[in-house]
Structure 1
Amino acid sequence: MDQNTAPNPWRKLISRYIKSEMTKKGIKYEELSSRLAKTGTQQTAANLRNKINRGILGADLFVQILFVLETNQLSREQLIEILEEIEKNPN
């Protein structure tokens, strides 16, 4: 297994965090793509789904996603909770 396909708790953290924010806001990948396009970032829904599911995206795209999801705060405590859950249930 290479680095891009190996299980990685940090990538899982990114994936779960973004998915949880999307769920809270009731936003699907198509709408996320549309919101990003309004800020000048072109990402198809399929491309976003792939990047988010893998947890592999650049810091700039991560921040843009948080911006368009109108995320008010990135809580360290929330991230710790997600990491602890990943440790308990790695799949």
Structure 2
Amino acid sequence: MKGQNQWRMIVQRIVRSEMSLRGVKYQGLSDKLAEIGVTQTADNLRNKVNKGILGADLLLQILYVLKARPLSVEMMAEIIAASDAD
């Protein structure tokens, strides 16, 4: 695994896959975050996720409102392996 960009790609893929599994678009994610007192526009979320640059607090808040699957080292290793194969 090389560099910061691959870690950002992992963040991007995890968030996108959790959104996809639940059929949540960025506006829906924005609405869910608002329910717990977090203000993020859909466009702002889209930009942050596409760049893979989220603060730890926002990443945890997103995973919480999406009721995401548990993160594991194995899940991250699979994403890394898939990106290395590309």
Same fold (TM over 0.5): yes
Deviations 1:72-91 (A, max 9, x none): 411221111011111122xx
Amino acid corresponding to residue 73 of structure 1 in structure 2: P
Runs of 4+ off more than 2 Å: none
Asked if 1:60 is matched to 2:57, the reply is yes
Asked if 1:51 is matched to 2:57, the reply is no
Q: Give TM-score, length-normalised by structure 2.
A: 0.92
User: Which residue pairs with 1:17 in the alignment?
Assistant: 14
Amino acid corresponding to residue 66 of structure 2 in structure 1: L
Q: Which moved more, 1:10-19 or 1:67-76?
A: 67-76
In structure 2, distance between residues paired with 1:53 and 1:88 = 21
**Unaligned stretches of 5+ residues in structure 1:** 1-5
Deviations 1:23-54 (A, max 9, x none): 01111000000000111110000000000010
Number of equivalenced pairs? 84
Q: Give TM-score, length-normalised by structure 1.
A: 0.87
In structure 1, distance between residues paired with 2:37 and 2:21 = 24
**Unaligned stretches of 5+ residues in structure 2:** none
Counterpart of 2:79 (choices 59, 79, 82) is 82
SS at match of 1:43: coil
Amino acid corresponding to residue 83 of structure 1 in structure 2: I
Deviations 1:49-69 (A, max 9, x none): 000010001000000000000
- Aligned-pair identity in percent equals 49
The structure with more helix, counted as a fraction of residues: 2
User: Which residue pairs with 1:3 in the alignment?
Assistant: none
